[in-house]
A and B are shown apart, each in its own frame.
Chain A
Amino acid sequence: MQNLFIILLSVGLVAACGWAVAMGARNRRLDQLLGAGRSQSRQLHERLAAVERRRSELEAVLSSMVEGVAAIDTEERLISLNRAAAQLLSLDPKRVIGRPIQEVVRNARLQALVAEALNPPTGQPPATSELTLRLNPNTTTDDRHLSAQAAPVRDADGKQVGAVVVLHDITRLRRLESVRRDFVANVSHEIKTPISAIKAAVETLAEDPSMPAGPRANFTGIIARQADRLDAIVEDLLSLTRLEQDESAVADDLEAHDVRPVIHAACETCHAKALEKSIEFDVETEPVAARVVPTLLEQALVNLIDNAIKYSPEATTVRITTKARGEQVVIDVADQGRGIEAEHLPRIFERFYRTDRARSRQLGGTGLGLSIVKHITETLGGKASVQSRIGQGSTFSLALTAAPLPPDPLPGSLPTPAQESAESS
Chain B
Amino acid sequence: MAIFLQRQINTLKKMVLNLGAACEDQVRLSIKSVNDRDVELASRVIEGDKKIDLLEIDIEEECLHTLALHQPVAFDLRYVVAVLKMNNDLERIGDHAKSIAQQAQYLAGEGEITEMPFDLNAMSQRVEKMLHNALDAVVNIDVELAREVRVLDDAVDIMHAGMYGRAIELMRDHPDQAEQIVHYINISRQLERIADHACNIAKDVLYITEGEIPRHSRLRRARGEASQATGTDHGEGGGGI
What is the CA–CA distance of A111 and B135 in the complex, to the nearest angstrom? 15
Closest to A100 in B: B14
Q: A100-B17, A108-B24, A134-B28 are in contact. List 6 more A-B contacts (CB 8 A).
A: A100-B10, A102-B14, A102-B21, A108-B18, A137-B128, A139-B125
Main secondary structure of the interface of B (DSSP, over half): helix
**Known contacts A108-B25, A134-B28; A102/B125 CB under 8 A:** no
Per-residue contact bits, chain A 70-98, to B (CB 8 Å; 1 contact, 0 not): 00000010000000000000000000000
Chain B hits for A45, CB < 8 A: none
A138: interface (CB < 8 Å): yes
Name the residue of chain A whose CB is nearest to the CB of B26: A108
Q: In whole Å, how far is B19's beta carbon from the nearest beta carbon of chain A? A: 9
- Cα A102 to Cα B138 in complex, Å, equals 11
Task: Tell me whether A389 is interfacial, beta carbon within 8 Å.
Answer: no
A343 beta carbon closer than 8 Å to chain B: no
* Min CB gap B58→A, angstroms: 13
Instruction: Pick the residue among A100, A102, A109, A137 that contacts B129 (CB under 8 A).
Output: A137
Q: How many residues of A contact B (CB 8 A)?
A: 13
Q: Does B21 contact A111, Cβ atoms closer than 8 Å?
A: yes
Contact of A102 (CB < 8 Å), options: B17, B128, B136: B17
> Are A108 and B22 in touch, CB under 8 angstroms?
yes
A28 on interface, CB distance cutoff 8 Å: no
A103 at the interface (CB under 8 A from B): yes
Please measure, in the bound complex, the distance between the C-alpha atom of A76 and the C-alpha atom of B24, giving whole angstroms. 21
22 pairs from A and B in contact (CB 8 Å cutoff) = A76-B14, A100-B10, A100-B13, A100-B14, A100-B17, A102-B14, A102-B17, A102-B18, A103-B14, A103-B17, A106-B17, A106-B20, A106-B21, A106-B24, A106-B132, A106-B136, A108-B25, A111-B18, A134-B28, A137-B129, A137-B132, A138-B125
A contacts, CB < 8 Å to B? 76, 100, 102-103, 106-109, 111, 134, 137-139
Docked pose: A107 CA to B18 CA in angstroms: 8
Q: Which B176-218 residues have a C-beta within 8 angstroms of A?
A: none
Chain A residue contacts of B20, Cβ below 8 A: 106
* Across-interface contacts of A76 in B (CB, < 8 A): 14
- Do the beta carbons of A137 and B21 come within 8 Å of each other? no
Q: Which B residues lie within 8 Å of A107 (CB)?
A: 21, 25
